[in-house]
Amino acid sequence: MNDVLCLFLHRFMLVFFNNILIFSSSWAEHLQDISIVLDALRAHRLHLKHSKCSFGGLLGSVPRPCDFSSGVTMDADKVAAVASWPTPRSTHGLRGFLGLTGYYRKYIHDFGVIAAPLTHLLHKDAFAWSDEADTAFQALKQALSIGPILQMPDFAK
């Protein structure tokens, strides 16, 4: 994907594994950017699965109405879901939470340091919830609930 779309990377789009994120400063520009990307994919005989496509939104975020230049905000429902995530009672529940937070790890400063008490609980027969684990759990929930972690980067800097 990086090779096929290299001309557009960091100008108005990013590629994450098999996801293409297109960001624009206006709706008209966004439609134009989508067309450019789709044309490039078509030229390389790459296809998109309609059921996997989502337009006008981003990773649990929603565009700010009428003001695309200010970027995106986190979806309030997703923030509420993270904030109300119950304390894990097993390694299975903890893996679910760490899977969600791990997806956003590059946006959370010192993610590995914060999550260390939780990842230690994933070792065989090591699951025993403690104050240290609870502090790490609450810190990660807080970090994921703060909107600025998902703002688009300023590629001019």
Domain with residue 105: its CATH number is 3.30.70.270
CB neighbours of 112 closer than 8 A, spacing ≥ 6?
Answer: 105
Separation between Cα atoms, residue 76 and residue 64, nearest integer Å: 12
| Confidence label for 152 from pLDDT (cuts 50, 70 and 90) | low
Residue 120 in domain: yes
Residue 5 in domain: no
- Identify which of 17-21, 95-99, 103-107 has the greatest average pLDDT: 95-99
Answer with the residue of higher pLDDT: 43 or 52. Answer: 43
- Same domain? For 135 and 91 the reply is yes
Cα angle at 141 between 136 and 146, to 5 degrees?
A: 125
Write down how long the chain is.
157
**Whether the predicted model's global pTM rises above the 0.75 cut:** no
Q: How many CA atoms lie within 13 A of 134 on its CB side?
A: 7
Residue 117 in domain: yes
Residue 102: its H or E element = helix 91-103
pLDDT beyond 80 at 79: no
| Confidence label for 86 from pLDDT (cuts 50, 70 and 90) | very high
How far apart, in Å, are the Cα atoms of 53 and each of 5, 58, 61, 74, 141? 17, 11, 15, 19, 28
Residue 3 in domain: no
- Same domain? For 85 and 140 the reply is yes
- Domain count for the chain: 2
- Same domain? For 52 and 80 the reply is no
pLDDT beyond 60 at 58: no
Residue 2 in domain: no
| Confidence label for 11 from pLDDT (cuts 50, 70 and 90) | confident
- Same domain? For 81 and 144 the reply is yes
Separation between Cα atoms, residue 62 and residue 150, nearest integer Å: 11
Structural domain including 24 reads: 13-56
Q: State the average pLDDT over residues 49-71.
A: 57
Buried b or exposed e, range 57-70, using 16+ CB within 10 angstroms: ebebbebeeeebee
